[in-house]
Amino acid sequence: MKKLGFTLVELIITIVVIGVLAVTAAPRFLSSDSEEATALRDRALQVVRNIQLRAMQNVNDTSCVKITASAIAPPAGHDCVNAISTAFDSDQVVSAPSGFSFQTADENNAAFTQIQFDSMGKPRNIACNSACKIQVNNVAICLQQEGAIYAC
């Protein structure tokens, strides 16, 4: 006698394979840029906080972070008068991938290109009585005049 159709084992295996593909492959094709923007923001937040800590631990240092549309990094030689340098370790440099950029705005919505920190960790070269922002697409880093740096 000839049987038509699929066995129960074949149907279950097919459903499991489709389920695995739905969980692993589909999000890669359907994901939005918001997750990547959040990850980029978090990396930039870590770099800015590290430079702030450097300024608080070494009071004779002119620690600052330089910001361009495509990168956030310390200046060459950690001297604020020098240009941005990407020659540091990857944990100190954040480069924006294609499709992303960094935009800055102080309390007056004026752009800034660097943040200098004093020995208390407060930004000293930008006006941040209300939050200053480093924007990455739809997410941002906020800086307060008292030195608070957080994701917003």
pLDDT above 70 (res 30): no
pLDDT above 90 (res 131): no
- pTM score of the predicted model: 0.73
Percent of the chain at pLDDT exceeding 90? 27
Mean pLDDT of 53-70: 84
pLDDT above 80 (res 93): yes
Q: Which of 25-29, 122-126, 127-131 ranks highest by mean pLDDT?
A: 122-126
- Residue 14 has which token pair? 């097919």
